[in-house]
Amino acid sequence: MPKRTPLIAGNWKMYKTALEAGETAATLAQRVADVKTTEVMIAPPFTALEAVYAVVQGTNIALGAQNMHWESEGAYTGEISPSMIKAVGCRYVIIGHSERRQYFGETDQDVNRKIVSTIKAGMFPVMCIGETEEQRESDETFSVLDKQVKIGLEGLFSDDLINLVVAYEPVWAIGTGKTASSDQAQEVHRFLRTRLAEQFDADFAATIRILYGGSVKPANIAELMAMEDIDGALVGGASLDAETFSQIVRYK
């Protein structure tokens, strides 16, 4: 099996001014400067992207955006285009986060459009998928994920998706303090890798990084990362503090 470089990503959501984000990024850069075998990404708010890029440029921390519009430009008041976020240094774009789906009505079709646009712009999509607590209790986890992967990646080929990252977010574990057990998370990650092999091919599926994103903390990261098909984490609240996040990055 090809070696997949772990990715620990921090989603800062709607927290931190540009000044606060720059300060946090500077502290984080110092604390993870010697990390060589794990990739690090942080996604601050749009207003802080430029300030954070000025700090992390030339370090081992990549910059990501939390969202974007699928059109390259146009009369879309309040939206941000792929070229805009790329111009301020973004390498990654988080697509279809559960909060975007839940609060702003984003659909699997929207996710697909955004992934296509991310790839066209030369950035790396982080496609978020996951089931709600109600869906899990109704034994619909795998059918929900199957649909999200199928539609989210529809019309694309493995050659298009060499920089794709998948992030499994059990919605019931985001911001709730609940966490899927490492075995539960591994079961889903294994399903997703098998699902990608079916939609594309086994070699492709073996190279794709699948992150876990559900209340990841310093206390549970090592156990999660020990699982065969878990290649990193998409971290929310615990990524807002540079010391806490650096402990997650340095899980080894």
Q: Which amino acids are annotated catalytic?
A: 97, 169
| CA separation, residue 182 to residues 189, 219, 221, 227 (Å) | 10, 12, 9, 7
Cα gap 83→244, rounded to integer Å? 32
Element (H, E) at 124: strand 124-129
* Closest by Cα among 184, 180, 210, 185 to 197: 210
Are the CB atoms for 41 and 94 separated by under 8 Å? no
Are the CB atoms for 201 and 207 separated by under 8 Å? no
Whose tokens are 């996710």? That residue is: 111
Are the CB atoms for 93 and 65 separated by under 8 Å? yes
Whose tokens are 């075998």? That residue is: 37
